Amino acid sequence: RKEVEQDPGPFNVPEGATVAFNCTYSNSASQSFFWYRQDCRKEPKLLMSVYSSGNEDGRFTAQLNRASQYISLLIRDSKLSDSATYLCVVNTNAGKSTFGDGTTLTVKP
């Protein structure tokens, strides 16, 4: 079993749709959590941090459930420009990072 697991998708949604991604992790000692976005043939870019209290940035909402060891990303009112691969990242207190394999999103007109 991988340390960090994501549904690979692909998720194909129309513009304006709401889409949610989940990510589960196995190391209960994990301390910090992030979502990254990666466009085709580009480097991953930090999208947002994930906190236990949940956090929102415009159309994006991230949440953490420590008891169940999963994090989620919700995208509302999807735009064509949201098409990308979304990677969840889990860090231990020592700073070691483990990336999920990513979930591919395609937003269609």
Partner 1 sequence: DARVTQTPRHKVTEMGQEVTMRCQPILGHNTVFWYRQTMMQGLELLAYFRNRAPLDDSGMPKDRFSAEMPDATLATLKIQPSEPRDSAVYFCASGSSGSYEQYFGPGTRLTVT
User: In the complex, which residues of this chain contact partner 1 (CB under 8 A)?
Assistant: 31-32, 34, 42-46, 49, 87, 89, 91, 94-102
DSSP the chain: --SEEE----EEEETT--EEEEEEE--TT--EEEEEEE-TTS--EEEEEE-TT-EEETTEEEEEETTTTEEEEEE-S--GGG-EEEEEEEE-TT--EEE---EEEEEE-
Report, in Å, the least distance between residue 44 CB and partner 1: 5
Select 47 or 107, whichever has its Cβ closest to partner 1: 47
Report, in Å, the least distance between residue 109 CB and partner 1: 27
Select 43 or 109, whichever has its Cβ closest to partner 1: 43
